[in-house]
Each structure stands twice: as structure tokens, then as C-alpha cells.
Structure 1
Amino acid sequence: MINSAFTVILLAGQRPGVDPLAEHFGEPFKALIDVAGQPMLAWVASTLAARPDVKRIVILAQQGDALLDHPGTRWLRDEARVTVRDSGASIVEAIAGTLRSMPQAYPFLLTTADNVLLDDAMIDRFKVGADGADIAVALVERKVLEAAYPGNRRTWLPFRGGAYSGANLFWLGSPEALKVLAIWRRVEQQRKKARAVLGAFGIGLSLMIALRMLTLGGAVARVGRRLGLIAKAVLLPYAEACIDVDKPADHAMVEAILRARASQPDPEL
């Protein structure tokens, strides 16, 4: 295990209104949906809390205290490294505010409560790949997922040489990452305006990506140069890294994977 310590930002909020998946399972919050015997938030938080290299876990949610009232997450109240912050109306502003309030806590690992299959191997591989970056994003190549789970449907980002899906893991390695969050906030505010998205990264770069003229690494490097920072895309060789819980079908799949993991013998015994 890599020993360099980091701070975690764990996103556990939801968009305004009723979350369709939470409603489907009869829960007030998506993060509390039960998966294989415990809430999604508990799965992710327990993986992170078990790591000695995690300095602190900051849970961002609109009603964080209510999330920790659940029997399956109440243990987080007694975890000294866990704090809860209000995410408000803008998750981007909440992330940026957390970074500004904790300037000595870099680097940050950002993930989500529905990233239930997150494990140590994924985190360790991502840390190694993100080393030295101001900002990094973890992705899984399409052929990796389809080899393990044929027919599984994800949202794919097409580049020259391959298509990739996000793994809900981000590395915020220095205050330079705030530059990316500022752009993200601008796009968030004008997400229905294509011109705003194009303008955020430059029309030329956007067109090259749209026409698949750039590889994933090339596109990320160009974004970094444009913003004056070091940006990296880290490919993970684990199909499960890009399977989060957004739909009932995802829920069933993740439950099956977790139950299969639980039935495997402990290699240390």
C-alpha cells in the first residue's frame, strides 16, 4: 500500500427534488440505499476509513447529519477522522469551499457514495498514476469492462484509440485544481448552453475531441497546458471501477458482485 497520506472528499448529496433511485427503493436519500446488507455510504466510507493513509474524510451532503442517523452509518459519528459539511445548492462550490478551508490537507481524493465497489487496489493504482498531478481523473477503457461484463451499458467518452468511462475517482493534488473547479462551476451554471462548454476549454480543443483527433492522454495534457497545470488521466485495469449505482440494474449487478466477493476465501488466512 502506498503510504503517502491524503484527505478524502466523499460526495453523498443529491440533486434538488426527489431522486428516482432513492424513491424506487423507498429511501429519503440515495446514499442510504441498501446494497447487500448496508447503505451505499457505509460501503464506501468503511473502505476509506480502514486505510491508514487516509488523514480525514469530509462528507459533503445537503443533510449530512440526517445521513448519519441511519443505523448503518451511525458509526461514522464516532470516527474521529470524519467531518460533515453542507454541500448547499452547488456541489462544485462545496468542493471548492472545502479545498479553501483546508489548505494544508492536500492532496485530496474525491469520490462518491454510489461508488460502492471501490476497493484498496483501485485506490492504490490511482494514487500511483496521479502522483505529481495537480488534478487527475480515473477512467476504465471500454474493452476492459466489456471483457468482464459483456453487455453492460455505460456512458462512454470516445477518443482516438479507444472509449472510456469515468470511475468516480478524482485527484486534487494542489490548489491549482481550483482552476478546473472554476471552469466546472461556469459550465454547471450554463450547462444548457453549448457555447459555454466549448468556450471553457477552447473551441479548437473541443473540436479535436469531438472529431476524435486526440487520444485521451493527449486531450488531458492539452487541457492541463491551457490551464497552466499538470493534468493526468489514469486508466484503471479493473472493470468494477466504473460500475456505480445509478439505476436498478446497476444495483442488482453491484449486489451480485459484492456477494461474490464475500463468498471468496480471505487470501491472508
Structure 2
Amino acid sequence: MSVTALVLAGSRPGGDPFAAELGVTHKALIPVGGTPMLVRVVGALQAAGMERILVSCDPGPVADIARELGAEVIAPATGPSGSVLAALDAVGTPLLVTTADHALLRPAWVRQLLDDTPADGDVAIMLAERRAIERALPGSRRTYLRFADGHWSGCNLFLLRGSAARAAVMEWTRVEADRKRPWRIVARLGPGLLLRYLAGRLTLAGALDRLGRRIGCRVALVPATDGLAAVDVDKAADLRDVERLLAGR
């Protein structure tokens, strides 16, 4: 199966404050161990066997670096989900999606997502369970989705396959503003599921199954074998942790 990879490297309106604090124009250009994050992400995708890589970004230095690395540049849309939709319209599926701030990205994580996605899965989402993250990086502060089968954090790795995947991205555009408030997302699936969630009896797998049936596609959870897959670079503490890990490696 030939898979195209998409790296979301757009800038938020007004620029990224963390990037500005570090003296660079875009978050994707923040140096980690002396290397811009975008370079690390594209390199990991290439090492994982991704022959076609798109970078969603505006014209400028990020686009220039992307082309130097052999990637194609695609114009971003409004918000991450809009940029994914634009890529789907341009190249179709299968499409593997990640972000430019995934500075620790490893080829093995990409291969795990591809290998562990069920054959009938339209969308696969990699998440890491809290215990795995805390084993890999004690003291790391992440945002968790709290379900009966564990506390989960996103790994910024998604696989979209087939025409039904578009429905999932359309749903993503509707819930994007609530990504830090999972109870509001669950509420869209009906009062019964919301009550189970609030009572701590709803599993993440159950919620994804219900979501998939509601929007007409099969959504699969791929639990990360390495808790570090959930560590991106959003703030100074993340940058310190990642650089320490890379130095130790």
C-alpha cells in the first residue's frame, strides 16, 4: 500500500508566541538539538518509507525548507482539519497525518500505525496511555482524555483510508474547538453515552466505535507501544525534555 504523508506546519493567526520567544518566525522552525523540528519530522517519515510527503504551510522559510528536503508544499486551510481536508481533496487516501512539532517522531511509530490499523479501518488514531507516558518521561505534563480503560493522550498520528475517512475529518472540523473538553465531544453522541462518561464507565474504544457508527466510518484506536509518541513541543518545558531525551539517545 502506497501511503502519502501530510505534515501540518501552518501558522496560527498572528504567529506562534513560543516560536517568537525563541527568535524564529514559525513553530516548525524551532531548533531541537540544533535541527529545526520540520527537518526532524520529514526525516523520520522518509526513514519510515514514506515516498511522498506533503507539508501544509504558507509560502516562506518553512516552504523553502520543505522543498529542500524533497517534500511537496500544499497551501494550508483554516485550522488543522481544514488543511487535512485540502490534502484529501488534492491527493486522496491513504493519507498519514502528523504535525511539525512532533520532534521526537520515530519511524517505528509510523510503521506501528500502518501495521496495527485493522484491515477494515477507515480512520486510525494513535494514542498513548498515561502509564506508558509516565514510564517513558516521568513528570511530563500532557492533556489526557479520561476513560474507563485508561487516561489517553494524542500522539498527533492519524491514518485516513478510503472515501469514508472524509466524513471523520468533517466531524473533526465540528469538534476542533472542544478538543480539550472531551465531555462536550461525548455529549454529541447522546445523553446515554455522556452519562456513562461522567460516571467513569465509558471506554475510549466504545466511544470511538459509537462515533464511527454515527458518522458512517470505522474508527480504530492504535495504542502506542512507546509513551514518548505523545510528547510534542508546545512549550519551554517540552523543549527541555525533548532535548534531554535526544542528548541521552
Structures share fold, TM-score greater than 0.5: yes
What's 2:116 paired with?
Answer: 129
> For the Cα contact (< 8 Å) 2:136–2:227, is it kept in 1?
yes
> For the Cα contact (< 8 Å) 1:145–1:239, is it kept in 2?
yes
- What's the C-alpha RMSD, in Å, of the aligned pairs? 2.4
What's 1:267 paired with?
Answer: none
Q: What amino acid is aligned across from residue 87 of structure 1 in structure 2?
A: P
Q: What amino acid is aligned across from residue 56 of structure 2 in structure 1?
A: L
Q: Tell me the matched-pair count.
A: 248
What's 2:54 paired with?
Answer: 58
Are residues 243 and 90 of structure 1, via their aligned partners in 2, closer, same or farther at CA, if it must alter by over 3 Å? closer
What's 2:40 paired with?
Answer: 43
What's 1:243 paired with?
Answer: 231
* 1:8 aligned residue (5, 8, 11): 5
**Cα distance between partner residues in 2 of 1:237 and 1:30:** 27
Are residues 107 and 162 of structure 1, via their aligned partners in 2, closer, same or farther at CA, if it must alter by over 3 Å? same
Q: What amino acid is aligned across from residue 24 of structure 2 in structure 1?
A: E
> What is the CA distance between 1:19 and its match in structure 2?
1.2
What's 2:91 paired with?
Answer: 102
Q: Which structure would you say has the larger Rg?
A: 1
* 2:26 aligned residue (24, 29, 35): 29
> What is the CA distance between 1:27 and its match in structure 2?
0.8
Q: Indicate whether 1:180 and 2:150 are aligned.
A: no
Are residues 193 and 142 of structure 1, via their aligned partners in 2, closer, same or farther at CA, if it must alter by over 3 Å? closer
Q: Indicate whether 1:113 and 2:113 are aligned.
A: no
SS of residue paired to 2:52: strand
**Cα distance between partner residues in 1 of 2:16 and 2:39:** 19
Unmatched runs of 5 consecutive residues or more in structure 2? none
> For the Cα contact (< 8 Å) 2:94–2:159, is it kept in 1?
yes
> Which shows bigger deviation, 232-241 or 129-138?
129-138
> For the Cα contact (< 8 Å) 2:98–2:158, is it kept in 1?
yes
* 1:86 aligned residue (71, 75, 95): 75
Unmatched runs of 5 consecutive residues or more in structure 1? 262-269
> For the Cα contact (< 8 Å) 1:7–1:108, is it kept in 2?
yes
Q: TM-score, normalised by structure 2?
A: 0.90
**Cα distance between partner residues in 1 of 2:151 and 2:180:** 24
SS of residue paired to 2:113: helix
What's 1:17 paired with?
Answer: 14
> What is the CA distance between 1:192 and its match in structure 2?
11
Deviations along 1:97-126, whole A, 9 cap, x unmatched? 2112223xx211100001111111111111
